[in-house]
Structure 1
Amino acid sequence: MKHKLLLLFLTIISAKSYSQIDFEKGYFINNSGEKVECLIKNTDWRNNPKEFSYKLAENSKVQRTGIESIKEFGVFGVSKYIRSNVKMDRSSENLNNLSNDRNPKFKEEQLFLKVLLEGKANLFMYAEGSLKRFFYNNENSNIEQLVFKSYLKNYKTFNRFLKGRKNSDDVVGKNTKFKQQLWNNLKCSSFTIKTIENLEYREKSLINFFIKYNECNSSIYTTYIKKKEKDLFNLTLRPRINTSSAKIQNTNFSYPLYSDFGNQINFGLGIEAEFILLFNKNKWSILIEGNYQSFKANKTITLRNHTSSQELDANVTYNSIEFPIGLRHYFFLNNNSKIFANVLYIIDFTLKSSSIDFKRPDNTSYATLDVNSNNALGFGLGFKQNRFSLEARYITNRPLTFSTWKSEYKSASLIFGYSFL
């Protein structure tokens, strides 16, 4: 009951913190041209949104609106999106899906375009999964796509490429019409052919070009460039207290053998590498850990038959290196404190020192079992403040043996952490 109340309490805090950090000062312009200042739920969109949530005031109810009703919206000092009807080419850049047509296939769509830079010439971006397209306009001209498309030169060379007898330059052609578009329409005395030739169809390269163009034409411009994030990688030392239990039985003997070793308290040590993902306000990360864990227990059990009984000394030694890999999600309380939840897949490598032995009173062996590596799932809930963290983790059952023996091993941990990188 206490655990359920604690989980409910943390959930309530998490939900509250989630709303507090996501709603930021912004605005939207509706179809009537009315500009409404509000609080917009800034989820740091990885893909261009089609709708968003907002509140008119801190204590107002959350409302949703979308591209049908909104001409423009933004979060002050962070991002800006405009609605536009544009012709866009959705051709894949995946090698397996390339066509042999170098020309783009345009289809008119209504989209929220992300503004990257606005001035005398404006640069926009649309992202959806692996698809990324850039758009531009010059002063009062219509917005159009900057064209870049990969295509197959011919299928024969493609087949030879798959067999390793051709390099990619012989197989894949690049339609880089965007360079010609910029050369024709964005003039500057300092631009040379080399300036255009060195351009890449990438956000950073194009932004730098548009900055140079606006500066060359003495135009005031505004960029909406995501600031370089800090603390995108954490390396954390994680000692822990483990409570583990093991059970072993074999029902195929004439007289079934069963041993419950109960709960044991032991200690472990690990190190965690955390990679923060660059979307959704840095709330998601990928975890890779390396942990040492051990379990050692002894128990005397009685083996009975119809006429007699004998005592056996049961010993289990289980030492392993675990490699949990998984996802973490943060719920921010303030700039220094946050709650997090983990989901992990735990790959286990059992050390040779592991074994399960059953011995008679005269110290002769009754049965000896090898301990095998088995994987499991882990679930964690924790709190982090600055460099220090505390996590409670539960690991699902994993059998220790195969064949006719049945076994289970469960564990839970209280993990302390100190991030030194």
Structure 2
Amino acid sequence: MNKYIFTLLFLIPTWYSYAQQDFEDGLVITNEGDTIKAKIENKDWKKNPESINYQSAKGTSASYSPTDIKGFFIESSKEWYQSAIMELDKSSLKDGDVVNGRHQIGVKLDTVFLRLLIKGKLSLYTITDENSREHFVIDAGNGLEELRIGKKKVTEEYQGITVKEGVVNLDYWKPQLDAAIADCPSVTYKQRIARYEEKTFVKLITAYNNCNGQSEISYAKPTEKAILNLAFSAGVIQSKMKLDGDDYGRNVNKDPDAFITPYFGFSFDVLLPRNNRSWSISNDLIYRSYNIDDFFKVSQIKILTTLRYRFPSQSNSRFFIGAGLNNGIAVKREIEGKKGNEFMRVHEQGLLFELGLQSKKLGYIFRYESKNGFSPYLETNTVFKNLHFGLTYLLNH
């Protein structure tokens, strides 16, 4: 396909996404303690926001930083964010940075929006900073405190020469958490095998807030889970085969005509949490048969695996783009009506790119695929260029 058409097709979702503003119902808590109903631009942040945009009931718009408000609430996701001015360790925890001494910034005073995980006698917050490092913060009623973790470079020497470098974890957070939950021995015991991760901290602090048999939790963030979409898929594939080389000295048709065949199958799309469910891992299992010049016939099963990005939208329609891998197995091969040679390739592989639109239950998809394919000639290099035009129908929308 002409490169300019490809450029246009991939620009359409970009233009579309810029025209969308995802304002949703929510609350803004002012510095004076007043609660204001508002429309807040919800970006389902992976990294905690440095500011938010909102529209009041009177139609006025504003942008707020953590110093402007005490916090805000998103109705659709039931999430609270709290403003804070606190110390955070901004050092990189990447092993390579620790070994080479890069980005070891240390503790710095920062102004942030913390995402609330649990509100209770002992509260838990999280923040993913601008460098994608995840921090956890607790509050036992006497102020916010980061649960700190660090890494230290260690070396192994032999006769004064460094032969090995590495890093060790520094779990500063363990005595911090021990002190915060010391009045509940059963939870203190569980903390000994804890890891520095959200799932572990939520479990421990929930247990602590329920330690006396009566829950002291006033808020718990809803659990985020991946969503599996199942769909029927069907369409057509236009294929063009190119051959390079001769087959044991025999001339071969190096430029057979393009052909179009139908396909059908199932699609499995796993929508990942955060970022407005924009990222997903898609798998399309399809079956098709084709016939080249009434000479070579193939029936195959293909699985197309792509990492897909869906552009934000307030409507029920979302454009998406994706890239990934194709793997195919030939379940039947015939040459002039006879079974194919046992030495012929039975597995094909390739790369693919896709563009599509999901509108309620219906999906519309276009794919470009380049792969090595099946050929009746053992000594030739075979390349297939495929164009897919298909539809999907969601079963669990």
TM-score (norm 1): 0.66
Looking at structure 1, the residues matched to 330 and 390 of structure 2 have their Cα atoms a distance apart, in angstroms, of 23
Larger Rg: 1
Q: In the TM superposition, what is the alpha-carbon distance from 1:285 to its structure 2 partner?
A: 0.7
Deviation of 1:405 (Å): 9.9
1:113 aligns with 2:132: no
What's the offset of the Cα at 1:200? Answer: 3.3
Q: In the alignment, what sits opposite 1:84?
A: 84
Match among 364, 367, 391 for residue 394 of structure 1: 367
Pairwise CA distance, 1:350: 7.7
Q: Indicate the SS of the match to 1:278.
A: coil
**Is 2:299 the counterpart of 1:324?**
no
Superposition pairs for residues 38-187 of structure 1, below 5 Å?
38-57=38-57, 60=59, 63-76=62-75, 78-98=78-98, 105-128=106-129, 130-139=132-141, 141-156=142-157, 173-187=168-182
Cα drift, residue 282 of structure 1: 2.3
- CA distance 1:93–1:273, change in 2 (3 Å): farther
Match of 2:323 among 329, 341, 344: 344
Task: Measure, in 2, the Cα distance between the counterparts of 1:212 and 1:406.
Answer: 61
Q: Structure 2: how far apart are the matches of 1:242 and 1:288?
A: 17
**Secondary structure, in 3 states, of the residue corresponding to 2:199?**
helix
**CA distances 1:211-233 after superposition (whole Å, capped 9, x unpaired):** 3444457784323423353x623
Q: Deviations over 1:80-121 (max 9, x none)?
A: 2222222222344434444599x9932222222222223343
Letter of the 1:268 counterpart: Y
Corresponding residue pairs, total = 367
Q: 1:219 to 1:324 in 2, by over 3 A?
A: closer
SS in 2 for 1:411: strand
Residue matched to 1:242:
236
Distance 2:324 2:110 in 1: 41
Deviation at 1:38, TM superposition (A): 0.7
Cα offset, 1:286, TM superposition = 1.0
Q: Is the 8 A contact 2:354 2:368 kept in 1?
A: yes
Unaligned runs of 5+ in 1: 163-170, 251-256, 299-313, 358-369
Which residue pairs with 1:194 in the alignment?
A: 189
In the alignment, what sits opposite 1:308? none
The residue identity in structure 2 corresponding to 1:37 is K
Q: CA deviation at 1:50?
A: 0.6
Distance in 2 separating the partners of 1:372 and 1:135: 51
1:277 offset after TM fit, Å? 0.8
Matches within 5 A, 1:375-394: 375-383=350-358, 385=360, 389-394=362-367
Question: Offset at 1:382?
Answer: 3.8
In structure 2, the partner of 1:311 is: none
Tell me the amino acid that sits aligned with residue 328 of structure 1: R
Note closer, same or farther for the CA distance 1:41–1:296 as it changes in structure 2 (3 Å cut): same
Instruction: Name the SS of the counterpart of 1:124 in structure 2.
Output: strand
CA RMSD of aligned residues (A): 5.0
The alpha-carbon deviation at position 279 of structure 1 amounts to 0.9
Whole-angstrom distance in 2 between the partners of 1:225 and 1:108: 26
Inter-partner Cα distance in structure 2 for 1:173 and 1:376: 39
1:23 Cα deviation after fit = 1.3
Counterpart contact for 2:135–2:147, Cα < 8 Å = yes
Query: Separation in 2 of the partners of 1:416 and 1:185?
Result: 52
The change in CA–CA distance for 1:278 and 1:297 in structure 2 (over 3 A counts) is: same
Name 1:415's counterpart in structure 2: 391
In structure 1, distance between residues paired with 2:147 and 2:175 = 9
